[in-house]
Chains A and B, each alone.
Chain A
Amino acid sequence: MKRPEPVQVIKQRRDAALQKMLEGVPYIRFLGIRMDRRGDELTGVLPYDDKLIGNPMLPALHGGVTAAFLEVTAIMELTWSMIWEDMEAGKITNDAPRVVLPKTIDFTVDYLRTGLPRDAYARARVNRSGRRYASVHVEAWQDNRTRLFAQATGHFLMPQRDG
């Protein structure tokens, strides 16, 4: 039987692939979004910043920021699930071409509570991923995982892959 790979090799490969997916998307950097990874589970993290405020009286996060954070997390989760096998096969290397991202067809955001002026987190679930279309659900929370402040569902057009 083949010996399992050393843990550092696996972590390095997965973190590098995740980095490759995020890097070069200026808007993700502009909002300050990071992705935390535990095995194949991704959590989007949006650290609080004054520029994300939409209502200075309350104050509250801008609804558009919430929508953008949910959309970025949904796209990253979908792309991550799309490249997982290639990545594990060692095909996502530093000199491999950039990962082509799915395109959003539509995105519906359900605002459940005011987004408070503090960090936010989001996790997405790919409910259906076909050759051409995918449907993704995503949830966002702040202090309590079970008290969501927003959720969304989006449909995406998958990039055409060779073969």
Chain B
Amino acid sequence: MPDPNADVRTKIARQFIEAIPHAKVLGMQLTRIDNAGAEITMPYDARLVGDPETGVIHGGAVSALMDTCCGAAVMAHPAAPVATATLDLRIDYMRAAKPGDMITTRAECYHVARSVAFVRATAYDGDFDRPVATATGAFTVERARA
């Protein structure tokens, strides 16, 4: 069924993400956003290295990317929240991201209740067959006053 508000909603979500100062300094780019979720990329940056021996990006920077992407997926959901905030976020680190590779995160908001949204996300480097990290989180849902 076509959703007449989908374009407006994704436009709002896009503006919401692009106005985040911390997402900007990390060079995040929103590459996809629709009812199904969001995809955000973050380029490799020497300032974000957590282990100077290997040049691997710090887990904290991956957390920031995961958190932003999960928030974007909540904002783009057909339930149309006006705002959202992270309640909790768990990240599992499967392996080190390859130094030099851009990191891509895909998030899906798989359930929205009256005031809580449930989200999962996966992060990849250049190899999309082997995830670098996965995340699951609960987010607040602020609805417009009726």
Q: Which of A51, A72, A110 contacts B22 (CB 8 A)?
A: A51
A56 part of interface (Cβ distance < 8 Å): yes
Q: Are B48 and A63 in contact (CB under 8 A)?
A: no
A37 part of interface (Cβ distance < 8 Å): no
Q: Are A62 and B91 in contact (CB under 8 A)?
A: no
Cβ contacts A1-44/B at 8 Å (1 or 0 each): 00000000000000000000000111101110000000000000
A87 part of interface (Cβ distance < 8 Å): no
Main SS class of interface, B: mixed
Given A53-B20, A67-B60, A68-B64, A26:B85 Cβ within 8 A: no
Q: Are B19 and A111 in contact (CB under 8 A)?
A: no
Q: Are A54 and B50 in contact (CB under 8 A)?
A: no
A71 part of interface (Cβ distance < 8 Å): yes
Which of A53, A54, A98 lies at the interface centre, i.e. has the most chain B CB atoms within 10 A of its CB? Answer: A54
Q: In whole angstroms, how far apart are the Cα atoms of A98 and B54 in the complex? A: 12
Task: Write the nearest CB–CB distance from B94 to chain A, whole angstroms.
Answer: 9
Cβ contacts A47-71/B at 8 Å (1 or 0 each): 0001111111100101111011101
Q: Which of B22, B48, B59, B96 contacts A107 (CB 8 A)?
A: B59
Cβ contacts B24-68/A at 8 Å (1 or 0 each): 010000000000000000000011111111000111110111111
A118 part of interface (Cβ distance < 8 Å): no
Q: In whole angstroms, how far apart are the Cα atoms of A90 and B57 in the complex? A: 31
Task: Write the nearest CB–CB distance from A75 to chain B, whole angstroms.
Answer: 9
Q: Are B86 and A63 in contact (CB under 8 A)?
A: yes
B92 part of interface (Cβ distance < 8 Å): yes
Q: In whole angstroms, how far apart are the Cα atoms of A149 and B42 in the complex? A: 27
What is the interface residue range for chain A against chain B? Answer: 35 or more
Q: In whole angstroms, how far apart are the Cα atoms of A30 and B52 in the complex? A: 14
Given A103-B93, A107-B90, A98:B20 Cβ within 8 A: no
B80 part of interface (Cβ distance < 8 Å): no
* Chain A stretch 91-133: residues in CB contact (< 8 A) with chain B: 98, 100-101, 103-111, 114
Residues of B within 8 A of A (CB): 19-23, 25, 46-53, 57-61, 63-68, 71, 83, 85-93, 96
Known: A64-B61, A108-B89. 7 other contacts (CB 8 A): A30-B47, A52-B22, A53-B22, A56-B19, A63-B67, A68-B61, A109-B90
25 pairs from A and B in contact (CB 8 Å cutoff)? A30-B47, A30-B48, A31-B60, A52-B21, A53-B21, A54-B20, A54-B23, A54-B67, A56-B19, A56-B20, A62-B20, A62-B22, A63-B89, A64-B61, A64-B64, A64-B67, A67-B63, A68-B59, A71-B58, A71-B63, A98-B53, A104-B93, A110-B88, A111-B85, A111-B88
